[in-house]
Structure 1
Amino acid sequence: MTPQPKPSSGSSPKAGPGEPVDSKDWPSVVDDSATEETPLLRSESSSPAAGSVSSATSEPSQDEDSPDLDTPNQRVSRARGLAIILSVYLLIFLQATNMSGITMAQSTIAADLDSYENAMWFTTAFLVAMSSSTPLVGKLASIFSPRTMVLYSSTLFAAGCFITSQARSFPVFILGRLVTGLGAGGSTALAIVLILELTTKRKRGLFVGLLNAGFTTGVSLGAVLSGALISVTGWRVLFWVQVPPSLIAGLGIHFSIPHTFSSGPGSKDGSLSTKLKRIDYPGALFLTATVVLFLYGLSGTIQVVPLLISLATLIIFVLIEYYVAVDPIIPITVIQNRGAILTCVSQLGFMAARWTVLFYAPITALAVRGFTPATSGSILIPTNLGFGLGGLLVGWLHVRRTGSFWASCITSFILFAASLFALSLASTPDIPISLYIITVFLNGLFAGAALNYTLAHLLHLTLPDTHYIATSLLGTFRGFAGSFGSAIGGGIFSRTLRASLEKGFKSIDGPSGPEDHSELIRKLIGSPALVFNGGLGAKEQTIAVQGYVDGLKVLFQAAVVLSIVVSVVQAATGWKGPGDKAKYRESGSSNALCDQVSEDEE
């Protein structure tokens, strides 16, 4: 028997409307009647509880003329809105530069801390902390005020940067990276919360595009700036210089959000002790353990034991959410929502395929095109420019309503797969560099569009009361993708590269017998810069280039297959949200399904 979800212990009092002003996107001051007990998603939800399946319905799809599309859930003045936009952008930008800048500083840090064999943890520790904290912050934002949560997140980020900059040993450095990741995960989740609350539904997609643009510009500039500054300033400056702006951004958001900004459906008693009692501590523990063990198992060489343990902790977590938790970390409606879970799974595979481009496009420039190490990272500029532009364009031109974006998701996924296939053919020295740049630009364009569409479609598939948790969970799965893509993709690439190099060197062995090229092969696999800067002979260099061409071709074509698979998974999410299904059951019409598809995809 399927366990029935437990109703929420609290009730949601009805909120009064806010004062209308001239600005549609950042309206005037929030209604004075709002309190800590006022529902955070006030205009989107009238359901009694997030855990109730039978009675709750989601917002219907709205056309371009619906007045509700121009009404935000909560209102702030134009000046406060502008301050929030700039502060959120700064936090996301700093997070992205911190994530990508470490790649350029990794060798210097490893030498300074004498930790060459553990250098992979510089990035992995950050990703593990960020991914594990994102769903928890999404839940906490529905219990405590996002106004307070964002201050904690920005402070954690600043503290982590400071600890990292002062580290004199590997354990202290990793501690700093963990604390930084916790702050970064909280900032990402809260940025989505603020977009959902303070923008109109018509402009929501545009602001999601701006958020993605902030992230991708940070990824692009982080590597470039770190590479340019590290030889001048040293690596420590790259971290402590982020402390003041992250604190300023957090304070800017904190003081720009009014005290009356509500924190979601809470209990009748809004005291701190009551809110602390609502937290699902066992669920939080096992969810965090699942994420940490899963990412640990994918870090470096794939480790089966941590992956199996993570599966066990996941099962325990689900059982806790079903049978024990009064207010689950992930509501039962989200766990039982096929569309939400499949969307998260598809995002894991989709972003893993995307990370193959981010990881290996610079290697293509270095080992196949012969770019210098200092300029190889610049190949990411066109793909990240396309990523930001894709999200902005679909947000500005298309995601201007609520409802299904099923066909748009599938179309963008297929176009993304096609661009990966083109990239597998273009990763050779014979293809003009201009054509390669266009290909990576289009890959980023389709990826940015897909991320905006899937978020909009997820909001359609889930109940409004669970939007915070659903979007945070989506962010967690996207966070998995970096480790997932590097572990699986790296294995495919390395095996293909080794096989190609061994075959190539065997073909040039002289009549005196085969030479031992094992040490050269080991170095070429570990350092692509040696292809053009390692003193290789003409024949050896040709074999090395061809080995990288073969490895990249197989890698990107494997990513094509993965993209097609996740396109099928995304298609299985369906186009009908909870409210649509209720209307379909009530209508009893055999044509209701076709009518809904036509209505949603107009």
Structure 2
Amino acid sequence: MAIEQSESQEPRRDGLTLLPPIPTEETPLLREDVEQQPERNDANGAPVAQEPSTRELVLVLGSIWLGVFLAALDATVVATLSAAISSSFNSLSLLSWIATSYLISNAAFQPLSGKLTDIFSRRTGLVFSNIFFALGNLICGLATQQWVMIFGRVVAGIGGGGLTAISTFVTSDLVPLRRRGVWQGIGNICYGTGMGLGGVFGGFINDSIGWRWAFLIQVPFVILSGILVFFTVKIPVKETDKSRLKRVDFLGAFTLLASLVLLLLGLNAGGNQVPWNHPLVLTSLPLSAIFLAIFVYVEDQVASEPVIPVRLLLDRTVGAACLTNWFATMAVFGLLFYVPVYFQVQGYSATAAGVRLIPQAVGTASGSLGSGYVMRLTGKYIKLNYFTLLLMIASTAAISTFSLQSPPWLAFVYLFFLGFGYGAMLTITLVALIAAVDHHFHSVVTSASYAFRSTGSTIGITIASAVFQNVLKWGLWSRLGDHEGASDLIARLRDSLDEVWNLPDDLQASARDAYMDALRAIFVTMLVLAVTSGLTSTAMRQHTLHSNLARR
């Protein structure tokens, strides 16, 4: 009888797991038959972590999310502190490099973290990321020269990228797909809270004790995060006859790293630090394409354990999910970069413009968590994906109707639903691409999605910037070209929005109209990208969302 009851605990075909057998007089008190089970493997023989209780999940993921919160906080802290840091070093050129250096290293190392933590363990990757993140913040807080400050942001970017990416892998390791979206949503709330508080924290620290302390204060908390994950994260690693170093695809890692760094360097420098026809841009972008081609060849034909198995991207669901992320992130980041400019053209201060972005952050967290609950209840994501992307497209279209006379409440509503659709899309596509591949590939396809997302954010901002500058230039010349000293005036208006408020009333109205035309051109361009994202998502297929980690 005891044997028959034990067998009934196997997962049923409907995905549910029966309750444990009722103990009898013959049932061992210590349940040795359970305690001495061998390590569980998935259908391909790869080790699978034991499913933890909710209490254990809260402990493990809470330890990791502390680092995620700090990484998000750090990203937006710099947005507030950039001007103060640049002024203290007497270098306005430093302002753009502070953000660019962090973005490049963050985006370049995220795709590598999947395979490397498969080999060296999630715990090792998280401890490594916390160390680099703490070290980078310490360097920034103590920097006395420009190059040291930039180096510190590069080091912090390596750590911050690892913290955000590896947290996603760990969640997939410990949570079955059916419940995956709910826990991802909670993690996104931690990330969104960090982003929302970063600017306020940075401004307060800068005004009270100086910008350096905004970096230094983070260091002990990052060290605490590293200690917590060292003791709480214990996920099995697949062992082979090879040494761990021999399993690392160094050539693939180098070519991918080179391709992403060169791409992001060219896109960030072009039109910002240097003109688009500068040798830096004309060299870095073609070299990026060459290294990408070499990377694809190495991964497909040479590497025994590739960083990213490129053939996985040929799967309809994986490829569509990555492209959906790519185009949607282009659209959302292009909007988030220029919607605050719209608020300032309306007459709001920079602080008030930043506050008006809070509904987008709230919507992103809500959409992520809400879509997770729906997938947990239904086990389906295709129709949910269509609904959320239609919501994002409709919100982008609504933003395209903004005018200088639009009431403030409209922006709150449109940005909330934009965030809701985007947050839901991130969770749905993540669950879809993980469900489409075998369990032991989940970290590398997640890394691939991060690569698409990080490059999408940069490309989106670059496209928006190019549209803005060209339409603004045309609009200013068409309205102010006949004015005396037009060339100098237009140059100043293109460089600084503050110059608008120094103009006489009649010229001020013309300049604001030119700015509004440029912003509307951006909004329409981002709408096209949002629609493209929706179209690519239609290629995704419905896959089974298993209720157990072994996917059996």
Bin for the TM-score computed over the shorter chain: 0.7 to 0.9
Question: Could you state the TM-score of these two structures normalised by the residue count of structure 1?
Answer: 0.80
| 1:388-407 Cα shifts (integer Å, max 9, x gaps) | 111111112334465x6233
Q: How does 1:3-402 map to 2 (within 5 A)?
A: 42=41, 45-47=42-44, 73-76=49-52, 79-258=55-234, 261-263=235-237, 265-268=238-241, 274-301=243-270, 302=276, 303-367=281-345, 369-400=346-377
Which amino acid counterpart does residue 522 of structure 1 have in structure 2? A
| 1:537-590 Cα shifts (integer Å, max 9, x gaps) | 1112212221221111110110011111222222234446899xxxxxxxxxxx
Q: CA deviation at 1:48?
A: 5.5
The answer as to 2:381 corresponding to 1:408 is: no
Q: CA deviation at 1:306?
A: 1.4
Q: Is the 8 A contact 1:227 1:374 kept in 2?
A: no
Which amino acid counterpart does residue 181 of structure 1 have in structure 2? G
Match of 1:450 among 425, 433, 437: 425
Q: CA deviation at 1:49?
A: 7.9
Q: Is the 8 A contact 2:177 2:435 kept in 1?
A: no
Cα pair distance change 1:439/1:516, threshold 3 Å:
same
* Separation (CA, whole Å) in 1 of partners of 2:449 and 2:537: 13
Percent sequence identity is 29
The answer as to 2:460 corresponding to 1:485 is: yes
Aligned equivalent of 2:411 = 436
* Separation (CA, whole Å) in 1 of partners of 2:164 and 2:389: 23
Aligned equivalent of 2:29 = none
* Separation (CA, whole Å) in 2 of partners of 1:151 and 1:21: 37
Which amino acid counterpart does residue 317 of structure 2 have in structure 1? G
Give the secondary-structure state (helix, strand or coil) at the position aligned to 1:299.
Answer: helix
Aligned equivalent of 2:510 = 543
* Separation (CA, whole Å) in 2 of partners of 1:549 and 1:212: 33
Which amino acid counterpart does residue 189 of structure 2 have in structure 1? A
Q: Is the 8 A contact 2:381 2:428 kept in 1?
A: yes
Q: CA deviation at 1:161?
A: 0.6
| 1:147-177 Cα shifts (integer Å, max 9, x gaps) | 2221111111111111111111121111111
Cα pair distance change 1:75/1:171, threshold 3 Å:
same
Q: Is the 8 A contact 2:318 2:432 kept in 1?
A: no
Aligned equivalent of 2:7 = none
* Separation (CA, whole Å) in 1 of partners of 2:216 and 2:396: 38
RMSD: 2.7
Q: CA deviation at 1:47?
A: 2.3
Aligned equivalent of 1:593 = none
* Separation (CA, whole Å) in 1 of partners of 2:37 and 2:78: 43
Aligned equivalent of 1:599 = none
Which amino acid counterpart does residue 377 of structure 1 have in structure 2? G
Give the secondary-structure state (helix, strand or coil) at the position aligned to 1:234.
Answer: coil
* Separation (CA, whole Å) in 2 of partners of 1:300 and 1:218: 27
Aligned equivalent of 2:525 = 558
| 1:276-331 Cα shifts (integer Å, max 9, x gaps) | 11001111100100110111111131524312111111111111112211111112
The answer as to 2:463 corresponding to 1:496 is: no
* Separation (CA, whole Å) in 2 of partners of 1:399 and 1:529: 49
Aligned equivalent of 1:459 = 434
Which amino acid counterpart does residue 300 of structure 1 have in structure 2? A
Q: CA deviation at 1:530?
A: 3.4
Cα pair distance change 1:84/1:522, threshold 3 Å:
farther
Unpaired runs of 5+ residues, structure 2, are 1-9, 11-17, 21-33, 271-275, 547-552
| 1:194-252 Cα shifts (integer Å, max 9, x gaps) | 11122243321111111222222222221222233322222111111111111111211
Which amino acid counterpart does residue 522 of structure 2 have in structure 1? L
Give the secondary-structure state (helix, strand or coil) at the position aligned to 2:269.
Answer: coil
Give the secondary-structure state (helix, strand or coil) at the position aligned to 2:357.
Answer: helix
Q: CA deviation at 1:83?
A: 2.5
Q: Is the 8 A contact 1:205 1:400 kept in 2?
A: no
* Separation (CA, whole Å) in 2 of partners of 1:82 and 1:568: 37
* Separation (CA, whole Å) in 1 of partners of 2:433 and 2:106: 21
Aligned equivalent of 2:28 = none
Which amino acid counterpart does residue 259 of structure 2 have in structure 1? T
More helix per residue: 2
* Separation (CA, whole Å) in 2 of partners of 1:203 and 1:74: 15
Question: Could you state the TM-score of these two structures normalised by the residue count of structure 2?
Answer: 0.86
Q: What is the count of residue pairs matched by the alignment?
A: 511
Give the secondary-structure state (helix, strand or coil) at the position aligned to 1:47.
Answer: coil
Which amino acid counterpart does residue 502 of structure 1 have in structure 2? W
Give the secondary-structure state (helix, strand or coil) at the position aligned to 2:118.
Answer: coil
* Separation (CA, whole Å) in 2 of partners of 1:341 and 1:556: 26
Q: Is the 8 A contact 2:398 2:414 kept in 1?
A: yes
Q: CA deviation at 1:466?
A: 0.7
Q: Which moved more, 1:129-138 or 1:294-303?
A: 294-303
* Separation (CA, whole Å) in 2 of partners of 1:34 and 1:526: 67
Unpaired runs of 5+ residues, structure 1, are 1-16, 23-30, 51-71, 580-602
